[in-house]
């Protein structure tokens, strides 16, 4: 099983992944269960291949593999230090790595569609850890897990997604997942130049998911169950004029209009679009969200390797 897009998951499968995530989280509180978990995939290996910067995704995948007893082989700066710097294509690199018989490859690459291209030449499962401005399906799974953890549902939610939606792959993948559940209402907050691309809007229409685009952040926040904020993707801006198109900032004033029961999420890294004083608000769950990522990724690896 490859993990290439959020589109591939159905709600039953997501529930199974979340159940398994909870189990792995629960195992942490018992040293006996931790040891048992660390026996699960002894002798198997995860290869992590990152052509773009990463803190959370790489460390949580490698940490997840380590907690499952796997060996980890990693290139954290493949764009500079792998043969890509000499001109080797991703497809050639993947075919070579294929010969090393790892059990799963986690790939982050700046080109949209790269994970699917890698999967086409790989006999080893590929996990898309972010392909340009395409998708970040494992982030969307951990985002959905976070929402479910706090609201106990993934349907009938007002979800406000803000920031650089044109280039932000996490917002695209999350919207794709949320469209699979009934009665969600998505509000995209951004400047018009950085709004959500039409392929995702079409998908929402297909599923009958209500959605609107706005520049009015406070109006949107007033009715939110979930606020999902993202940074300006400066490394992906085709038009340097947009560099000044700041994503909106969530600060104390924004908190005042936000309902008590809402949660504030962010895939991180944040670069000023949530002020640090918001961190102390009980609605701010972005660090917890990042923490859940490790266990969601354990559940995913477990699912993929369980099939082999």
Tell me the catalytic residues. 56-57, 86, 108, 136
Least separation in angstroms between residue 223's CB and ligand NCD is 25
CB 156 within 8 A of CB 210: no
CA–CA dist 157, 147 (Å, integer): 10
Give residues 229-288 in contact with ligand NCD (rule: CB under 6 A). 230-231, 267-268
Least separation in angstroms between residue 101's CB and ligand NCD is 28
Helix-helix angle 286-306:11-27, to 10 degrees: 110
CA–CA dist 224, 220 (Å, integer): 7
Q: Measured from the CB atom, is 18 or 228 closer to ligand NCD? A: 228
Please identify which residue in 109, 136, 172, 242 interacts with ligand NCD, judged by CB under 6 A.
Answer: 136
Count of positions on this chain that bind ligand NCD (CB under 6 A): 11
Least separation in angstroms between residue 65's CB and ligand NCD is 17
Q: Does 169 bind ligand NCD (CB under 6 A)?
A: yes
**3 state SS of 121:** helix
Q: Please enumerate in sequence order all residues whose Cβ is within 8 A of that of 29, keeping only pairs 6 or more positions apart, or say none.
A: none
Q: Measured from the CB atom, is 170 or 184 closer to ligand NCD? A: 170
Q: Measured from the CB atom, is 211 or 231 closer to ligand NCD? A: 231
Q: Please enumerate in sequence order all residues whose Cβ is within 8 A of that of 235, keeping only pairs 6 or more positions apart, or say none.
A: none
CB 224 within 8 A of CB 160: yes
Q: Measured from the CB atom, is 137 or 267 closer to ligand NCD? A: 267
Q: Measured from the CB atom, is 17 or 27 closer to ligand NCD? A: 17
Least separation in angstroms between residue 159's CB and ligand NCD is 17
Least separation in angstroms between residue 18's CB and ligand NCD is 19
What are the Cα distances from residue 12, in Å, to 81, 144, 146? Answer: 40, 13, 17
Please identify which residue in 2, 21, 48, 57 interacts with ligand NCD, judged by CB under 6 A.
Answer: 57
The span from the first CA to the last CA of the chain, in angstroms, equals 9
CA–CA dist 158, 227 (Å, integer): 9
Q: Does 190 bind ligand NCD (CB under 6 A)?
A: no
Half-sphere exposure of 247 (CA within 13 A, CB side): 29
Please identify which residue in 20, 37, 60, 170 interacts with ligand NCD, judged by CB under 6 A.
Answer: 170
Q: Measured from the CB atom, is 52 or 302 closer to ligand NCD? A: 52
Q: Please enumerate in sequence order all residues whose Cβ is within 8 A of that of 98, keeping only pairs 6 or more positions apart, or say none.
A: 121, 122, 123, 124
Least separation in angstroms between residue 232's CB and ligand NCD is 9
Residue whose entry in the numeric block shows the structure tokens 């018992």:
30
Q: Please report the sign of the dihedral spanned by the C-alpha atoms of residue 307, residue 56, residue 97, residue 128.
A: positive
- By Cβ distance, which residue is nearest to ligand NCD? 267
Give residues 66-125 in contact with ligand NCD (rule: CB under 6 A). none
Q: Does 56 bind ligand NCD (CB under 6 A)?
A: yes
Per-residue DSSP letter, 95:
H
Which positions touch ligand NCD (CB under 6 A)? 56-57, 130, 136, 139, 169-170, 230-231, 267-268
């Amino acid at each position: 099983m490859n993990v290439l897009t959020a589109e591939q998951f159905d709600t039953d499968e997501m529930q199974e992944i979340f159940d398994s995530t909870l189990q792995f989280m629960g195992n942490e509180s018992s040293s006996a269960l931790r040891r048992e978990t660390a026996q699960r995939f002894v002798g198997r290996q995860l290869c992590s291949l990152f052509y773009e910067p990463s803190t959370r995704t790489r460390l949580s995948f490698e940490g997840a593999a380590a907690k499952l007893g796997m060996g980890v082989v990693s290139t954290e700066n493949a764009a500079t230090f792998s043969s890509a710097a000499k001109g080797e294509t991703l497809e050639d690199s993947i075919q070579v790595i294929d010969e090393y018989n790892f059990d799963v490859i986690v790939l982050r690459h700046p080109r949209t569609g790269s994970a699917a291209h890698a999967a086409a030449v790989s006999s080893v499962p590929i996990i898309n850890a972010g392909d340009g401005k395409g998708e970040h399906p494992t982030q969307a799974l951990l985002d959905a897990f976070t929402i479910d953890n706090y609201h106990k549902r993934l349907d009938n939610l007002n979800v406000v997604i803000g920031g650089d939606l044109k280039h932000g792959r996490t917002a695209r993948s999350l919207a794709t997942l949320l469209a699979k559940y009934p009665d969600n209402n998505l509000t995209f907050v951004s400047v018009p130049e950085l709004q959500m691309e039409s392929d995702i809007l079409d998908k929402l229409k297909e599923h009958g998911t209500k959605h609107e685009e706005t520049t009015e952040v406070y109006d949107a926040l007033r009715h939110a169950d979930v606020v999902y904020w993202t940074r300006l993707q400066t490394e992906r801006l085709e038009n340097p004029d947009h560099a000044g198109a700041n994503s909106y900032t969530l600060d104390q004033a924004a908190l005042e209009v936000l309902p008590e029961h809402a949660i504030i999420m962010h895939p991180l890294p944040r670069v000023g679009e949530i002020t640090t004083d918001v961190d102390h608000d009980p609605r701010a769950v972005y660090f917890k969200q990042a923490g859940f990522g490790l266990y969601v990724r354990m559940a995913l690896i477990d699912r993929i390797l369980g099939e082999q």
